[in-house]
Amino acid sequence: LSICVVEKGYEVGSHILAGTVLEPRSLEELIPDWRELEAPLDTPVTSDVFKLMVNSEKALPTPPVPGLGNHGNYVISLSQFTRWLGEQAEEMDIDIFPQSPASEVLYDDKGAVVGIATADAGYTKDGGLKDTFARGMELRAKQTIFAEGCRGSCSEEIMERYNLREGKDEQTYALIIKEVWEIPEENCKPGHVQHTFGWPLD
C-alpha cells in the first residue's frame, strides 16, 4: 500500500500556528509508544480555572464546567506536534511532499475523482518562467482524501460538482485573533489552563 501526503507549507507543521490542549486518547490508540518516541507532549495540565468576564477589566471565578476539565491532557504546540507526526509517517514509508500545494482535481471519463495535480513552481512576478521552473505532478490514487480546511479550493470544486452541500446546514465560521505574550518567567505557570467566558459590555 502506497500513501503520500502533499503539504503546501515549507515543511509539515509550518502552517499550523496554534497552541492547544491535547486529549491523548487517540494518540494512545494510534502510537502507543509515543513517550518512547519523544512526542512533544512536555507540559501536562496541572490546573483548570474557570472565569466569567463582567467587564473589560474584571472576571469572576465560576464553578468548573462539566466536560471541560483537562485532567490528563497536555498543553502543546500544534506546529511541533504535527511536525513530529510527519516524522512518524515517514518512518512508516509514507511519502510526504512539502511545498506542493494541490491545485487541480483529476477525474476519470466517468467523472470520478482519481487524484490531484500539484501546482507548477518557478514563475516570476510578471508570469514569466524562472530557471528553476518545474511542472506540477499528477498524483493518481485509488482513494484521495482532501484535508484542506475550510474553503479549500479543491474541496469547494468537489462540493459544487457533486452537489455535496444540498440539504446540509449552512457552514458557519468564526474569526479568532490570537496574541503571543512574553511574560516574566516568575509569572509563568506551566500546565495552567484558564477558561474565560462572556463578553465585556463596556
> 116 φ, ψ to 5°?
-140, 165
Burial class of residue 144, CB neighbours in 10 A (0-12, 13-18, 19+): middle
81, 19 in Cβ contact below 8 A?
Answer: no
Q: Where does 96-202 have alpha helices with state H?
A: 153-161
Between CA 94 and CA 131 the distance in angstroms is 30
Q: Over its length of 202 residues, how does the chain's per-residue pLDDT go in tens digits? A: 899 999 988 899 888 877 889 999 999 999 999 999 999 999 999 999 999 888 878 889 998 888 888 999 999 999 999 999 999 999 999 999 998 889 999 999 999 999 999 988 888 888 888 888 888 899 999 999 999 877 789 999 999 999 999 999 988 888 777 777 788 988 888 898 888 887 655 5
pTM of the predicted model as reported, rounded to 2 decimal places = 0.79
Handedness of CA 177, 178, 182, 188 (dihedral sign): positive
- Cell 507543521 belongs to 13
